[in-house]
Structure 1
Amino acid sequence: MIKATKIAVIATVFIATAPVPSVNAAGNVNQLVTNAINAGTILKWAISVEGFANFKTRPYAEYNTTKNYIEAAEKASSQLSQSEKLNVHARLVDAKIQVKRAQAYIDAITSSEKIKELTNNMNSSIASGELDRIEATYHLATAEYRKQTKLLDRVYGQSTRDGIRNSVKPTFEALMNSVQYDVTIHMHLEKAKKLLKEEKYIETDLELMKAYEYLNGYKDSLSFYSKLQNNYESTLNSVPLLPLFATTDGKNTVTVKLSKALLTNSSNLEAGQFKISGEIVQHARLSEDKKSITLTTTDLNGDTDYLLTWKGSEIIFTTPEVPDNSGILLNDLEERYLETTDTHVYIAKLTNSDNSPYNGRVRISLANNNGEPTTGVITSVNGHVEEASQEWRSYADQNGHVVFTVTAGAGTYTNVQPTIQKLDGNETSKQAAVTHFYQLQTNSGVYDFQIENETIHKEAGYIVVNGMKYKWDANDLFFIHGQLISKEEFERALTKGDMLTLGYDVRLENASTWNIVSDITQHAAVKITNPAQSPLTFDGSFYEISGTAHPGNKVKVYRNSVYVGMVTVDEDGYWSLGTVSLLQNMENTFVAYQYTPGQDGIDGEGAINTATNTIFEGAFASTAITYHDEGSNGISITDTFDFSFLNPSYGHSFKRSLSGTLTINDGLGKSVVVKVDYIDGNTLKVIDFISREEGFNFKSSLFVITSTTGIINQDQLKYSVEASKLEGTLLKKTSY
Structure 2
Amino acid sequence: MKNVLKTTLLATVFSAVLWGGQSAEAATYSEAEKLVRQAEGYAGTVKWQVSYEYTKTIARPDMKNFNAAKEYRLKAQTAINTLPAASQRNVLNDRLKKNVDTYVNRAIAYIDAITAGEKIIRQQSNLNTHISSGNLEKLENTYHVLSEEIRKQAKLLYRVHGQSTRDAFLVKYKAPAESLIKGVKHEVTSSMLLDDIQALKLPEGISSSVVPVKVNEYQSYDTYINYPTLQTALNNKYNATMSKIVLPQNKMKDLITEVAIENGIPPEILKAIAYQESGDTLKFQQFKNNGEPIVSSDNGIGIMQITNHPTENVEDLKYNTRNNIEVGAELLKEKWSWTGDELPKINDGDPDVLENWYFAVLAYNGRSSINHPTNSGNYQNKIFEFIRSSSQVKVFNFNNLVYDISVNNGILDFTPKLQYETNIQNKTTQIYKAGQTLKITTSTKFRPEPNTIVKEKYTLAAGNEVQILEKGISDATGINHFVFYKVKVNSTGDIGYVFSGAFAK
Which of 1 and 2 has greater Rg? 2
Higher strand share: 1
Shorter-chain-normalised TM-score: which range?
A: 0.3 to 0.5
- Larger RCO (CA within 8 A; separation ≥ 6): 2
TM-score, normalization by structure 2: 0.47
